Structures are given as C-alpha cells and as structure tokens.
Amino acid sequence: MSIPAFGDSLIIYLIIAAMLFGIGFYGLVHRRTLIGMLIAGELILAGASINFMAFNRFLAPDPTVGQVFTLFIMGIAAAEAAIALSIIIAVYRNFRSIDAEDVAELKG
Amino acid sequence: MVPLFSAEGLSSLVFIFIVMTTVLGAVIATHSERLTRAVTGLAICFIGVAGIYYYLNSPFVALMEMLIYVGAVCVTIVFAVMLADPNPESEAGKGSIFAGPLSFALGILLFWGLSALAGKTAWVPPSARVNDGSLEEVGRSLLTNYSMAFELISIVLLLAIIGALVLARQGRTRTGGES
C-alpha cells in the first residue's frame, strides 16, 4: 500500500488556504449576527496566514519572512477581535440585539 | 508516492486527519445555529491550522497559534457571547438575497478560482536559502529587519486594549441600570 506525500507539495497548502477563505467568505455573507461575522472573519485571516506560511516554506529565499508576517497577522487579529467584541457589546447595550439587520438607526 | 507503513506514509495520514479537522471545524464555525457551538468549531479549526503550521516547518508559529487563537481569541468571543446573550439565529424571515444559496455559490466560486489560480501558476523555487528559518533566525529578524513593525504592533495592541476598555465601559457609567 502506498499513499501520496501530501505534506510536501505547495499546491495542497494553497488549496487548503483557498478552502478556508471560501468558507470564511460564505460565513461572512451568510451569518446575520455580528459575532458570527467576526468568527467568519477570523477564518479568512487564517486562510491568509496559511498562504503566507506555505510560500515561506516552499518559495521564499529568506524563510523567516513568512513566520514574522504570520505573527504580525496574529497580533492584528487579536487586536481586531478585542475592538470588535467591545463594539458588539456597546451595540448590544444600545439596541438589545446583535443582529446586523436590527442595527439600522440611520436607515430612513 | 511513499509506502503507507513508513514514517512518511504515517505522517501523510496524520496530515490528512489534520486537514479534515480544519475543514470540519470551519464548517461547524459557519453553519451551527448557536454561537457557542460556532466558537467551539472555530477552536477546532484553529487547532487544525496549528497542525498545518507544524507541517510547514515552524513549530513556534504553531505554538503561538494555539496560544493566541485557541487560548485567547476564542475565550474572548465566548465572553462576548455570554455578555451579549444572543438568541439562536432564526434562519427564516428577513434575510437578504445574499443570505441563501447565493452566498454558498460565491464561496464555492472564490474557492474554485483561487485553487485554479494556484494550480495554473508556475511557482519558481528559490535557488538558495539565506538561513534555515529556525526560531533563532525568526527572533533575529524580528529585532533587526522588522523591529519597526514590531514596535508599531505593540503600540497597536496597547491602543486596542485602551480602546476596548473605553468602548465597553461607556454605556455602563452613562446609563447605569437602563433597560
């Protein structure tokens, strides 16, 4: 019995990253609560990070660049999650709902 | 192709398992009705992503993924779910035209397009590596080449903490027990 060596080809990682990006985009459009949208956004960021790490492993002449970039993406994502969640809590205080369609005060 | 019962074959099997974990977690995170289950799916997905980073020769980034995403971001989202107390999403009713099959089609289209693009491009491997990408080298480049970005991201994190505190505190002092 034999099995292809999946972990050694760039295209596999790119396809995984594309799949995470597609699922995250689908969730971002499909979800109706703000927290669900935030979760889908984290999936999109994970897809982008996997892309960077795959290129770092297979194509980059300096194999630290992708790791540094992924660490920065993690830091930005943590800051973004903290800010977005406090905004969501403030929205919930004012509107008693976190449904994206209920937060429509400016709609005429 | 490698034989199944060798080190490479077994690591390939584990890789398939990790990828399935990632995709399954992502599907749970986007599809479950209750937000707590969605956060759990997100944590499962990030554990799988950490395994993928391990296969990409960087155990440090895998560790950071577990620490920051699974340990911090998911727990923060759980706290927000607890504080905001959302009802389970009712799928029927007021949904835009994007909410149904159109969003699914858009996701499939993006996935297919990106995969086709990745498959058709002729990637050129590097002729030489300047270092081995170990943790020592990552630390050295963080503190030499990328020290400016390193300092900037610490300022961004500090501002994010202060901003989150200000935003989440505001309603509490102003309105008190308004309901």
Q: What is the pLDDT of residues A89-100, one digit of tens each?
A: 888 888 877 777
User: What does the buried/exposed string (b/e) look like for A56-73 if buried means 16 or more CB atoms within 10 Å of the residue's CB?
Assistant: bbbebebbbbbbbbbbbe
Q: Do A22 and B132 touch (CB under 8 A)?
A: no
Comparing B123 with A7, which gets the higher pLDDT?
A: B123
How far is it, in rounded angstroms, from Cα B154 to Cα B44?
28
B3 DSSP 8-state letter? E
CATH for A75: 1.10.287.3510
Question: Which chain A residue has its CA at the smallest distance from B1's CA?
Answer: A4
A104 contacts chain B (CB < 8 A): no
Q: Do B26 and A92 touch (CB under 8 A)?
A: no
A102 lies in a domain? no
Comparing B127 with A47, which gets the higher pLDDT?
A: A47
Domain of B139 in residue numbering reads as 133-179
Interface test with A, best of B34, B58, B87, B146 (most A CBs within 10 A): B58
Is the complex ipTM higher than 0.85? yes
How far is it, in rounded angstroms, from Cα B166 to Cα B163?
5
CB-CB: which of B77, B129, B133 is closest to A39?
Answer: B77
B17 contacts chain A (CB < 8 A): no
A95 contacts chain B (CB < 8 A): no
A86 contacts chain B (CB < 8 A): yes
In a shared domain, residues B69 and B139: no
Q: Give pLDDT, residue B178.
A: 47
Q: Do B42 and A92 touch (CB under 8 A)?
A: no
Q: Give pLDDT, residue A13.
A: 93
Measured between CA atoms, how close is B88 to chain A, in angstroms?
A: 9
Comparing A32 with A59, which gets the higher pLDDT?
A: A59
Q: Do A39 and B104 touch (CB under 8 A)?
A: no
Contact B77, B61 (CB under 8 A): no
Measured between CA atoms, how close is A20 to chain B, in angstroms?
A: 7
A47 lies in a domain? yes
Contact B59, B138 (CB under 8 A): no
- The pLDDT of A30-48, averaged and rounded, is 90
In a shared domain, residues B67 and B1: yes
B67 lies in a domain? yes
B24 contacts chain A (CB < 8 A): no
Q: Give pLDDT, residue B99.
A: 67
The total domain count for chain B is 2
A70 lies in a domain? yes
How far is it, in rounded angstroms, from Cα A54 to Cα A38?
25
Q: Consecutive sets of 10 residues in chain B, 179 residues long: mean pLDDT of each?
A: 82 92 94 88 95 92 92 90 70 57 88 91 85 88 92 93 86 52
B123 lies in a domain? no
The total domain count for chain A is 1
Measured between CA atoms, how close is B107 to chain A, in angstroms?
A: 4
B171 lies in a domain? yes
Domain of A91 in residue numbering reads as 10-95
A64 lies in a domain? yes
A89 contacts chain B (CB < 8 A): yes
Sequential DSSP letters for chain A: -EE--GGG-HHHHHHHHHHHHHHHHHHHHH--BHHHHHHHHHHHHHHHHHHHHHHHHHT-SSTTHHHHHHHHHHHHHHHHHHHHHHHHHHHHHHHS--BTTT--TT--
Q: Give pLDDT, residue B29.
A: 92
